[in-house]
Each structure stands twice: as C-alpha cells, then as structure tokens.
Chain A
Amino acid sequence: MPDSPVFMSIRDLGRLVRDREVSPVQLAEIFLARLENLGPDYNAVVTVTGERAMQQARRCEQEIASGRYRGPLHGIPFGVKDLLATSGGIPTTWGAAPLRNQTFDYDATVIRKLEAAGAVLAAKLAMVELAGGAGYWQPDASFTGPGITPWDKTRWSGGSSTGSGAATAAGLVPFAIGSETMGSIMSPSSNCGVTGLRPTYGRVSRYGAMALSWTLDKLGPLCLTADDCGLVLEVIAGPDPKDPTTTKRTFSYDDADVGSRRFRLGVLEDVADNTDRATRHNFERALETLGEVAEIEEVSFSDLPHEAINYTILFAEASSAFDEIVDSGMLGELTAPEDRFGSYSRVAVLAKDYIKAMRLRRLMAENADEVMSRFDALVGPSRAGIAPPLHQDFRKASRGGRKDVMLSVGNGAGLPAISVPSGFSSEGLPTGIQFMGRAYEENAILAVARSYQSLTDWHQRHPPDLLSS
C-alpha cells in the first residue's frame, strides 16, 4: 500500500485496487475517518454513510479477490450532494433544516449506477438549501453552515454543490457528484481548486434528484483531474426510462493520449472583463499555455437577452417545483433569512414570459451550436472572482454589471463544460478556467482539459495543511 491514497486520482487508485495493493475496505476506512474528522472543518458533510460503505467495500473486496474486477471505480469511495435520494433510512435533506429527516425508499439512478460499477457511497454532502432555489444572497444558507473552501477557512466553497467541492478538495473523498442548474458545479470547482464536469443536459439521469428547474438541471462529477471526470461520466451517463429527458446517445470515454493533438479554441470577446485581478491574470496566462496546443480565435454569440431568458425559465420552473414547500410555510424554517421569503415573488413571473423565454432559448441554442461547431471548446474564466469571504453579500459584490454569457448560454443551451484549476491568487486561493463544448461533445472538452492539465500542475496542488492530515 502506498503512503497515502489521499489526493490520488481515481485512475491511480483504481490500479492499486485492481492490483490488490490496496483493498476497498482499507480505502473505505481511510476516507470514512477523514469525512468524520475533517468534514466538520469545512461544513462539507451532512451524513457519513459508514455502515453502507463498509458493507459495499467488503463486497468489493470479495469480488476482487475472486477475480471479478468491475473497472476503475471498483472499490473507490465517493460522496453525493444531498439532493440525491438514498434508500435504507439515510436522510436526503436538500440542505434544508425543515427536511433534515426526509427519507426515500429508493436510490437515485446515479447512485445505483455508481454502486453497480463498484464505487462505494461514503457520504451525503452538504449543499446550499434547496440548491439555492430560494434565492440566497450569502454563503450561510444551509443548515450545515456555510460551505468552506479547504484553501482558507474564512472563504466560501462556492455553491450550491458546496460539500461536493470542499470534500473533493480536502481529500475526504476521491470524487463527488454535484448538480448544476446555473453554475453550481463550475462555482465550487473553481473556489475549491478541483476539476468539475457539467455534462450535456440529458446526458445523466436525474431520477431521484431534487428538481429545481426541470429544463436546466444537470448532474456531474467533481474530481481531482479531467481524466477522472471522464471515468465517472462513462459510468453515470446513459438513457434512463425513469428520466424521460435522458438522451439515447451513448457516451464512451475516449481517454486516448492527447500527446501531439492540436485543438481549436474560441474565446468570447470581453469574457474576462470585470473579473478580479487574479482570475484575469491566470486566465491570460492559461491562454498563453493553451497557445502551445491550440489555435485560439475570438468569437461572439448573437445579441440575445441571455440572462433574462435563463432566469425567467429558472424562476418560473422553481416556482412550480417548490410549490408545495412554499405553500406549506416551510420556508420560514430555512437558514438564510432571505430564503424565508425569496420564493414568494416567483408567482409574479408571467406564463407568456416563460413561453417567450423558451422560444428565445431555441434561437440561443441554434446560435450557440453554429458558433461552437467550429471549435473543440470555448475557453473562459470559470467564475468572475476568487472565493469570497464567508460574510460576503453577493449583491454587493458587483462586477460592474458583468454578464456571464458562458454561464447563461452554456446552461440555457444545455452544453457541457469542465472547470479546471488555473492558478492561485496572491492570497493563495484557487482560480479556474472552463472549457465549454458543443452538445454531446464531452470527449472534446475532456481532451482539451487533459491537454491543459498535462502542461500545468495546478490540479496537483492541494491545501498544504491537509497534505499531512
């Protein structure tokens, strides 16, 4: 067994498990202990699923001993954002105090698929209450406390997949599942310095996941490397009769060596405007690095009201998705004061505006596809800035009215994107860049990200105080 499996990639851990240099039971014990002991430092964990994990790990160990190796996830512990249903009496809280005892009698499809591949569910991870669907303004919006980035205990982990980002960055799990409606994988990936993949809409079944916005919600992995994201996506992707939005297009991870491959990258004009100094500096440096392996061209999308389209859809759908919760009066028990009334306004979104937004969304998607068809990926900052302080009021952190077009077009058109670490600020906080691809072209953005990670070592940096923990 190596000195420590912590901060090893899934790829490397999988080889050790396959070659019986480390056992699934050993891995489970190590990561369960970290979840228990270090999880509270980052408000990253809701429930450690120790009993289920050890049962699964022992089963994996027997299978591998008898020569039945299932693949690179066999015996690898993982965590999931606590909006994925779990059976067996394990609570699924959606991050909300009034739902802290909520249980389901089935497992979300993503969990079922991961366990079928031999992965070991070790934890339900913290999240912003209702995945931010009540309209939070600041980090302290979960009954488990504000998510904390392992790089600085005074800074936010990003959200709403707070625990998925923090737990992966702190080495509490080798990988985690998060969800994104509008930025909730990109944000914690950037703030926590990990690699997060938002798959194409419909690529991954959402059966068993809390719905916030049916036409925007996606599930995806947060890992230490782009390669690991590909390994996980191959397992969780695929059609599911229980989620009618899943695509029949299959996904097979192409992990071929990117060695001498050259890429075509697009950069939206002004994409780094009104980002903070470190984000902009590191983005510009990343472009220089990418210039070694790619032709880079400036591009633009058509002039549509991208943000009005997306947020009108999001608010209208969230209004219906949380109708029962709103009517129940449960909102009053939420953690963030603004979440106790934020949802009430959504009844004022007009049906005609929702339909108009959905019609404009078609134009947005057609234009995005036309633009993106010429590129392997568009590249831009993952977020406008480094992780904000835990007491930050987001509304006061204005970025000069910055429009995040990649966020709006990417989510509105359902396009895949991957956030990778791109460096650090002077305070030692990570920054991220994202590669966004054409629909169903996860392999293209994974290849670009792997190529970038072969030229840099940002993804191999870990919080110093955790390297010896």
Chain B
Amino acid sequence: MTSWLLVMPIAVPFATAVLAYLMRRAPSGRWISLTGSVLSLVASIALLIAVLNEGVIAAQMSNWDAPFGITLVADYLGVVMVVITAITGLATAVYALGEIPERIEHLGYHALFQTLIAGVTGAFLTGDLFNLYVWFEVMLISSFGLLVLGGTREQLDAGIKYVALNLVSTIIFLSGIGLLYGVTGTLNMADLREAVANAEDQTLITVIAMMFMVGFGVKAGVFPLFFWLPASYHTPTFAVSAVFAGLLTKVGVYAMMRMFTLVFVGDVGFTHEILIWVSLLTMLTGVLGAAAQTDFRKILSFHIISQIGYMTLGLALYTPLALMGGVFYLVHHIIVKANLFLVSGVANKLAGSTDLRRIGGLYKSSPFLAALFIVPAFSLAGFPPLSGFWAKYLIVKAAIELDAWFVAFIALFVGLLTIFSMTKIWGMAFWKPHPDGIDPVPERVPAKIRVPMMLPIIGLAIMTVVIGFFPEPFVQFAETAATQLLDPSDYVTTVLGAQR
C-alpha cells in the first residue's frame, strides 16, 4: 500500500492533465482541473499522515529493488513540500477560474498546469538522481509552455531568456550526474551517500558537488545565476507567475538541501562555506535589485531571489537549528510569495496595470484587499507575529549561536530593506490616489471573476496568520525534518531495505 500512497500525489495530476486536455474546449475542463487539484491535496495529506505515523517511507517502482530500480521516498522534508505544492496548486487552480480567459484555456492551460504540479511533486518524492533529472525536465517543459501561453511579445522575449538559462543549468546538472555515475557506479541517492564517502578521489567529488551547486543554483536563482528570474516572472498570467514564484525556485533549493545533506557532506568546510557567501550576496543583490524597480511583479521577483538567500543560508550554516529554519522558511515562503503574486493580479484587474506609477487608490476603494496585502507583505519582511518572523528568527538565532555576527547582521539588514520595498508598494499602489483619477472599487470586476480570485488570497493569508500565531507544531515538524536531514540513516536504511 505504501507504494500507492507515494504514487498518487504524482499520478493524480497526470491523470487530471490528460482529462483536462481532452475537455479543454468544454466548460467542464476547468472544473476537472479543480477537482484534480482537490484530489491531489487529499492524496498528499494521506501521505503526510502515513509519514507522521511511520516515519520515512519508501517504495520501489515496478518491484525492482533499490539501488537498481527507481525509488520513491518521503521523509518529513519531502512530504511537507508535497503537501504545500498541492495547497499552492489548489489555490492557483481556484484563482485560474477567475483569471484565465477562455482563449488560453483552449490552448491547454489546465493540462500544462497539472503537468507542472506533477513534475514538481515527482521531484520532491524521487529517491533516484536520474529520475530527479527527468522530473526537472517535466517541470521545465510544462513551465516553458505556461510561460509563453498566449504568445504576447513580452512573453516571447521573457521565454527566450528563461528557456536558454534553464537549459544550460539542466545540461550542467546532467553532466554532473554522468561524472558521479562514473565515479560511484550508482545513482540511487541513499546508495550514493556511502559510495561518495568511500570514493577514492575526493577532489573529483568536490568538483562534481560544485557542478550540482551551479545546476541547482540556476534553478533556485542564487547569486550570480539568477538573471533569468526577474526577466521572466512578470510576463505570464498571474496564476502562472504565482505558481512559478511559489514552487519552481523552491525545487532548486530542495534539491540543493537534499544533495548537500545526504550525499555531498565529505567536505562541508569548503562547499558550505561557499554557500554562505553565495547566500549573503543573493540576499543583498535581490533586495537591492527590488529597490530599483517600479513594477509590482518585478519587485516581487527580486524579493524571491533575496528570500532564496535565507533558505540556502539555513543549509549553508549546517547546524540543526539553521536547517530547521531553512525548512520552515521554505514552507512559509511558498505560501507568502504565491499569495503576493495573486494579490498583484487582483490589483492589476482593479487598477488596470502592474506599473506602480500608473496605479493607486487601492486602499481607499478596496480596504479589504489592502488588509490581505499587508498580511503576506509583512510576513515576508519578518514582522512578528506572522510566519516570516519565526522563519527569520530561527535562521538569525542559528547564525548568532555560531558567532557568525556578520551573517546575522546581513540577514537582519536585508529584512529591513524588505520592509522598504513593501512600504513602497503600499505607498504607490494602495495609499496614493490613482493618477488617472480612476476609483478602483472591486465592483468594477464582475463577481464571477472577483470571487474565485479573492478566495485563495484569503485562504493563504489565513494560513500565514495561523502559522504565525501557532508556530509550535510547525516548528516541531521542521525540527524533525532537520534532524532527518542531518542524520539520514533512517532515510538510507528505509530506501535500501524497502520492499514493496
């Protein structure tokens, strides 16, 4: 049965994609997509319950024993990412009911979207390195499609940059896999842990580790490999950019966390030291880049980069507390960032643009939306008692415990600059009057579009607040996840001993 618990979160979105494509011209297509998203969430919660009860669970596909077959495995980190993916998927599927026009639905929007979710989920669950590459490609090809769907000039321009840099990163990742196989003769991640530790040529292993760091680094958008991200995330439809912002870069971070706690731990002093500096520069360049922008989504895109820095910092510091902070940050950030992009979509519908200089007056005419913006925005900046505060608190505390005062200072300083950006959006989009004298009241948008667009924003904001006020269970969960990452003996024995 475990096998099926692990398969369902991947199989359901795939099946939904097939059905949604066949029904893409019928009005029922979008409802199939929505039902599929609900079922995915059910499947992933079932998996979560199983992991909470039994610890790490693994299954061999097609009954081929590890390390020869493909293993699916869920530990605490993997399963929480699957659940949060399903939640984000559901939120954006509801949002899409309001936002996505029929013209784009007919091109197969829902099928591509569900394939993307399947790819992301697969990447979180797989225990085989080559299989991870395949899931990356599934994710990539559907994200290419989603990015240029509709085919405006801006989208094509952004698509070229996104596609080109992501393909380069994929090829570097693939070469890394090839070399690693040449050295160790295995690609099962649990098996690799021992094989890499016993490899004769540790220098070559470090070189391969750096190839993986670059490959995943491009996906995650860390300094200096992030240029594709702010060049593309502001062009597709808002539902798409929300799901990109929430999930895609996090897959890179997740893969990094997995590989640099499970496999490449032979030379932590070297690899993780590099990662510390990369993280600090990522945080700073991201937040400074955002300060120069005046487009709602461009500011948010640069903030993704700066926040990625915190997550990789959690990995780089490599203490139980820091990793715990990193995991907590990962989950919190997906919810908050997806929500901010969804808010920008509503702001665009109401005020007519995402260029902050050309909109305004949203606070006066739509105070409810303003309140919903405040929650994720302040959570992003790390205000207590919202979820972002606890995430930042854990990471800064971990830095201070290591006497890394400089690191802690940068982390706090970047938080301060984040507030600056968020108040800029607040001041320009919500506070100042609309430059064209338009009164952007919500009633300008028909309820049929407005309601599905507002519902997910409300839901995600409630989650942010709940995590903020009752962080106990979430922090404990992150603690267990971090313990499992630092001591993966459970993971290794479960994978290599898993039958059926």
Task: Say whether A and B bind each other.
Answer: no
